[in-house]
Structure 1
């Protein structure tokens, strides 16, 4: 009797209706998690510089500007939305197994490609930022970047 139980449990995964789709959804979720983890590491950068300002007094005043780029929360939201939309579309009535598998594969491709493009744009926009310190009483403005930029000005 235990031999029959072992055989039926081992073969049951292949005989479960929709097992192929479930495996593909599991792969999509692992891809989403992996993409988010990789983006967390790739999405960081920093740069800085110090400038001497001529002021009235015996010594010039040095101003240092440090910029730090962090990953954007919009990317994580986009990954989550992609997974939820893909699963929702797979559950629509009339969907065949082949079309469901294609939809999941496309969602994974879109998720990874969009994250890579966003990370590249974040790096390019961060590199293009000027680190000139603001004048006295001025503010340091950051144009739109594809990440979160923290500014640290020390005088």
Structure 2
């Protein structure tokens, strides 16, 4: 079992639409689901930019996406379904309002951007424990610089 399965897509797209779009290609929906999961993971994964050590939440992505069934976060699951649907319907426009799907996709991405920046939070998402003390061989984080220039505009 994975975080998102084909059976879960019933709340985002009808079965007959999946059959029409896939047109016998059994790998089309699993590919769209995998692409969606990787896209959502990319928004939740901390990169190595030092500016991101400013108190933003660091999500335990592997733990979040290893959950199944009712353990999954419902909001994140729905956003992932929306993105999977968009990746899937990109193959065809059979009986689907493409503009509506595009708007839903854009809203999901905007939400994930806010989530990654720490502007919004989802309760219950696993965080990486940042309280660990660096080892003796690891240097302590150090920042230097000056304030941004004040401007009266």
Short-chain TM bin: 0.3 to 0.5
TM-score normalized by structure 1?
Answer: 0.36
User: Is the strand fraction higher in 1 or 2?
Assistant: 1
User: Is the helix fraction higher in 1 or 2?
Assistant: 1
TM-score normalized by structure 2?
Answer: 0.37
